[in-house]
Amino acid sequence: MPLNESFANVLKKLRMQKGLSQEELAFKANLHRTYISQLERGLKSPTLNTISTLADVLDISLTQFVKSIQEDMK
């Protein structure tokens, strides 16, 4: 699984576990809803700052977030 697709899978899974819509996640992370949609389709590679912001909103550590991505890639 390519990296951006695994990031997309993990982001979507964590967002849904929190019961958030893309719009709600975007608002909480101060990002654009369109950008969240692009991330969840694997169309963009997020920056480290963006990953960290999303991890905060989703109540997961940066390391655990990236670990989940790496596991999804297998």
- Cβ 66 vs Cβ 51: under 8 Å: yes
**Sole binder of a second copy in the list 3, 16, 34, 41 (CB under 8 A):** 3
Cα(56)–Cα(46) distance, rounded to whole angstroms?
Answer: 15
Query: Per the structure block, which two tokens stand in for 53?
Result: 């912001």
Q: At what angle do helices 3-17 and 33-40 cross, to 10 degrees?
A: 120
Residues 12-71 that bind a second copy (CB under 8 A): 45-52, 61-63, 66-67, 69-70
Residues in CB range of 20: below 8 A, 6 or more apart: 28
Q: How far is the CB of 23 from a second copy (least distance, A)?
A: 23
Q: Which of 21, 45 has the CB closer to a second copy?
A: 45
Q: Which of 19, 63 has the CB closer to a second copy?
A: 63
User: Under the rule (CB under 8 A), what is the footprint of a second copy?
Assistant: 3-4, 7, 45-52, 61-63, 66-67, 69-70
